[in-house]
Amino acid sequence: MGPADEKPEWFITQDGTVLQTWPPGLDNDRLKYLRYKTTRTPTLQELQELDRRIDQFRISLERRSRILVILVIALVVLVAASWLVSVLLGVSMIYPAVISGIGLVAIVVAPYVVRAISGGSRAKFDQLYLNAGFASSVPRTIKTDDALAMINARGTVRGGGTNP
């Protein structure tokens, strides 16, 4: 199994510390160990459920992003087609000008829509972690030696993750 095939793995130490491995990928060249602050000690089942919900969240966000990109492309094609058709048919230039004006307004508004979608999405993402007993969705990377000491300590339980 190569690095691209590895999955993150959860660990809960005897004192309730939650760790996660993060395999090498596009953003990192080696296995990372992440430590999360928690408000309570979650169970492995809760951590695996968190992974499942994060996967669903990512799929939903990808769909919304694709739809937004498709709408912007369709708008650009519509504006270009309106000018082309009006010139070929000799139609009044008012129609493509109106369509271009609407398109320009939509393109100016699009960044704000993207921010609203991503901002709301970030809050929902954070809420997934809060509901699972985490103080924050942002982990702290810890040294390999420290992580391995905690992982190999008596009483630490481990469970596979599902997030790539």
Give the global pTM: 0.72
pLDDT higher than threshold 70 for residue 6: no
Which residues, at least 6 apart from 75, have a Cβ–Cβ distance to it below 8 Å?
103, 106, 107
Mean pLDDT of 132-146: 93
pLDDT higher than threshold 50 for residue 123: yes
Question: Is residue 72 a contact partner of residue 114, using CB atoms and an 8 Å limit?
Answer: no
Structural domain boundaries in the chain: 1-42+134-164, 56-132
- Higher local confidence (pLDDT), 117 or 106: 106
CA distance readout (Å), 103 to 27, 70, 99, 117: 36, 14, 6, 20
First to last CA, the chain: 14
Confidence of residue 164 (pLDDT cuts 50, 70, 90): very low
Task: Please report how many Cα atoms fall inside a 13 Å half-sphere around the Cα of residue 112, on the Cβ side.
Answer: 5
Give the 3-state secondary structure of residue 25: coil
Q: What is the mean pLDDT of the chain?
A: 85
Enter the tokens of residue 80: 């270009």
pLDDT higher than threshold 70 for residue 47: yes
pLDDT higher than threshold 80 for residue 46: yes
Mean pLDDT of 48-52: 92
Mean pLDDT of 127-131: 93
